[in-house]
A and B are shown apart, each in its own frame.
Chain A
Amino acid sequence: MGRYVARRLIQAIPLLLGISVISFAILKAVPGGPTAAYEGNPYFTDEDLRRLEAAFGLDQPIHVQYLNWFTHFIQGDWGYSYSGGQPVLQLIFERLPNTLYLTIAVYVTVLVVAIPVGVLTAVRQYSWFDHIVTGSTFAFLSTPTFWLGLLLIISFGLQLRWLPLGGIQTPGMDFDLVDRARHLILPVATLSLVQIGSYTRFLRASMLETINQDFMRTARAKGLLERVIVLRHALKNAAIPLVTVAALDLPGLFAGALVTEQIFGWPGMGRLFWDSATRSDYPVLMGILAITSTLIVLANLFADVLYGYLDPRIRYP
């Protein structure tokens, strides 16, 4: 196991290197850039342009720029924001907790709802409960995240006025748990409903597959309680593939969080990415892409390792 993890970590290095090269290439290939804002400005001379490019290191050939960024990056110097001048690392770590806070709340909500619902639909296959749940999970899966967010804002924020329209807390207010929770409900609901749909469907299918296996018959033959059979024997095995799904969903969750943060004015990484993109703030963008893709690669590795831990039949090559 240790050797397997070590090998996978080593394999992740060229993968992440490749990702950083492609990210850099995309940034450079797309027209525009940090100096584009000054184009056509009569007070901005070619002299100024060259000075600005030299200051950002944009006058050097692209591979030199990349190597320059990379050598600083691995030493923990992620550069400075073009627009604000703050260190990139500091900017990201100001925002990352807010996104993680949202993401973790979503994962918890999804699991708390999807596991019991998924189990129940499988145990009561083709019951009215199953039909309603299966139908609505399909509906949620087909709903664009941003539209769901709009609908929730319209109904619970604008019409009923039960919940705040956006933000992480009431501006100017000291930390208050109730206030924080009220601000959390709509963004979490927006992101969770879609996920709950896919997790419930997945768990239902996987439970149904497990329920028909031999060891389940053995458990019944031993005279175990149905509750024990379902929860301890079936669920434990059926939930294993869910680990992979949870890890593979991470990129989708980041993307969803980006849109959700945009709709709800949530001060997270998605917003930072958005603002930096509109300002062509290359160092910040590279930093965010590096962090998110590393998280995704690590999540996949974690899922594979955990999968093997949960299912002893799996042998590591």
Chain B
Amino acid sequence: MLLREGLAGLLEDAGHTVVARVGDAESLLAVVSEHEPDLAIVDVRMPPTYEDEGMRAAVEIRRLHPATAVLVLSQHVESRNAVALVGSGGGFGYLLKDRVLDVDDFLDAAERVCNGGSALDPEVVKQLLLPPQEDDALAELTPREREVLGLMAEGKTNAGIARQLWVTEKTVETHVSSILAKLGLLLDGDTHRRVFAVVTYLGGSARP
């Protein structure tokens, strides 16, 4: 409740319009179909059971309203659900709640998702990347390449990665093509599709 108001304020401060604020999955689906917003920010836990109503509502929203992107906020990392969600296509984001406190990053992620991109929490990515198994192709990556792969998985663009690592976009591109080669992924430069492939690859490797 408190967080919802704070979050709405944050978004409005940043120049976005908040069309509705609701407290449960049923009313959420109702207002989404009424307003068809660009983005729905959904808490995983909602009444009545506080289990995974938010997760199911998110999938439902994407199914019924492809124009509405969904950003799911979770209280803790559930990598399987996160990977399943983000790996299923664009327009999905999965972040821990406290990412909100890094306002710029959060708004950036929200915008990415709105534009058909993805956002996967760094914590989830960290779990996906650990540990390097002996027979794993990931073991062949250099530490820097692994870092870049993590940021790719989070949904960042090459420019975003370059900004974060304090390198040029050109260097990032080199790393990316090296990584894709090592993992045997054949992709064009499209950031969004790249994310699905990487996430799917990592999610798949975590589930032998």
Q: Do A and B bind each other?
A: no
Q: Measuring CB to CB, which residues of chain B are less than 8 angstroms from any residue of chain A?
A: none
